[in-house]
Amino acid sequence: MITNKPAPDEFKNLSVQYLAQSVDLLLKTEMALTQGDWGADEVLEEEWENRQGILGNSLIMLFLSIENYFKYRICKVDPLLLIAGEPSRWGLSKGNKNFEDLFIHQFDDLLVIYQEITEEGIDLGVKQRLNELRKKRNKYTHGLHRAILNPKYIIESTAIYLTSLWEENWTRDFKSAMLTEPLYGLTNEEEEQMMLLSYFKIFEKYLTANELRKLIGMPSTGRRYLCPYCKNCSIESGITVNPNYALLVPNKAESETINCWLCECLIDVKRSSCILTECHGNVIYAKDTHYEHTSNCCLTCGSAQNR
Ligand SMILES: [Zn+2]
Ligand SMILES: [Zn+2]
C-alpha cells in the first residue's frame, strides 16, 4: 500500500503561500522604492533593472504556485495520479511505501493530466505563457537567465493564472491563508483586508483597468467608490492608499447600496451632492460613531461633509 497520501488542500495552501511570497517580493520592493506612494505611478524601470534577483525569485515562486495548483486539482481526483513512473516500479512489493518517497510528475506532465481531469482545454495564449514561464524558471534556477525581467511581466502572468486557471474565488482563498500579525488594534479579518488592499494596488499599477476588474471579479462598468469600512481600517493602520474598490449595486443613479470587493460588505449610502464644488460625487456615507474616520464622508473624494 501507499501510505501517507496527501490531501488536496495541502497543495492548495502551498500554492497560495508561494503566490503570496511571489507578490510580496514585488510589493515590498515597490513600497520601499516609492515610499508607499502608489499614486506616483512611476515605472521605476532602472530601479527594477538593478533588482533582477528579486524578480527572478518572484518568478520562481509564481511558478511553484502554479505547479502546486495543478497538483491540488489533480489530487482532488486521486493523489495516485500525481505519481510518476510505472506502477510496477513504485516498489510496493517490499511492503508499504510512503507517498513522500515516490516521485511526482514534472510540470509538463502535470499540465497534461490537469487538462484531462478537468476536461478544460487551456486557452492557447495561457499555454504559451505557462511554457514561457517554465523556460524562464529553468534558466533562473540554473543561473543562466540573461534577458531583463520587469514586474509587469510577473504581475501580468499572475493575473492570467488567477483569471484563467484558479477555479474558486482566489481573494477568499488568499485571505484564509494569509499570515497577518495583528498590529494597530485591527481584527485579523481587517488585517487580511488591508494586506489584500496592497495586493490590489500593485496589481492595479501594472494591469489595465479592465484586466484588474476581471482579476478581482468586479463588473467591467460602474464608477468605483471608497469603502467606508476599509477606508476607516486603512487610516487606523496608517496606510495612505485608498481602498476604492466598491461599486453601486445595482449600478443605477438612485442606488443606495455599495458593495466592496475587498471586505465583501454591502453598505448603505446616502445620495446627496458632495459639499466640495470641485467634486462631482453624490455618494455619501452617513454619520456613524463606529467608523469615526469615515463618518459623514463623501465616498468619491473622501472629504468630511461638515459645513
Ligand atoms: Zn470594504
Ligand atoms: Zn466629494
How far, in Å, is the centroid of ligand 2 from the Cα of 232? 16
Distance 125 CA to ligand 2 centre (A): 42
CA of residue 275 to ligand 2 center, whole Å: 7
Domain ranges of the chain: 2-167, 189-298
Identify residue 299 by its one-letter amino acid code. L
Distance 208 CA to ligand 2 centre (A): 25
Residue 6 pLDDT > 70 = yes
How far, in Å, from the CA of 265 to the mean position of ligand 1? 6
Ligand that lies nearest to the alpha carbon of residue 231, given by its number in the listed order: 1
What's the 191 CA to ligand 2 centre distance in angstroms? Answer: 27
CB 151 within 8 A of CB 48: yes
Per-residue model confidence as pLDDT tens digits over 58-109: 999 999 999 999 999 999 999 999 999 888 888 887 788 899 989 999 999 9
Q: Which amino acid belongs to residue 49?
A: E
User: If DSSP states are collapsed to H, E and C, what string results for the chain?
Assistant: CEECCCCHHHHHHHHHHHHHHHHHHHHHHHHHHHCCCHHHCCCCHHHHHCCHHHHHHHHHHHHHHHHHHHHHHHHHHCHHHHECCCHHHCCHHHCCEEHHHCCECCHHHHHHHHHHHHCCCCCHHHHHHHHHHHHHHHHHHCCCCCCCCCHHHHHHHHHHHHHHCCCCCHHHHHHHHCCCCCCCCCCHHHHHHHHHHHHHHHHHHHCCHHHHHHHHCCCCCCCCECCHHHHHHHHHCCCCCCCCCEEECCCCCCCCEEEECCCCCEEECECCCCCCCCCCCCCEECCCCCCCCCCCEECCCCCECCC
Amino acid present at 176: S
Relative to the alpha carbon of 300, which ligand is closest?
2
Number of neighbours of residue 187 by Cβ within 10 angstroms = 11
Which of these, 136, 69, 130, 80, lies nearest to 104 by C-alpha position?
80
Query: Which three cell numbers, joined as nine digits, stand for 155?
Result: 504581475
Mean pLDDT for the stretch of residues 148-160: 96
Distance 305 CA to ligand 2 centre (A): 8
Instruction: Specify the pLDDT at position 183.
Output: 59
pLDDT in tens, 116-139: 998 777 899 999 999 999 999 999
Q: Which ligand has the minimum distance to the alpha carbon of residue 275?
A: 2
pLDDT for residue 92: 80
pLDDT for 176 equals: 78
What pLDDT is stored for residue 66 in this prediction? 97
* CB 92, CB 111: distance < 8 Å: no
Residues found in the chain: 307
pLDDT at 175: 82
10 vs 21: CA distance, rounded Å: 17
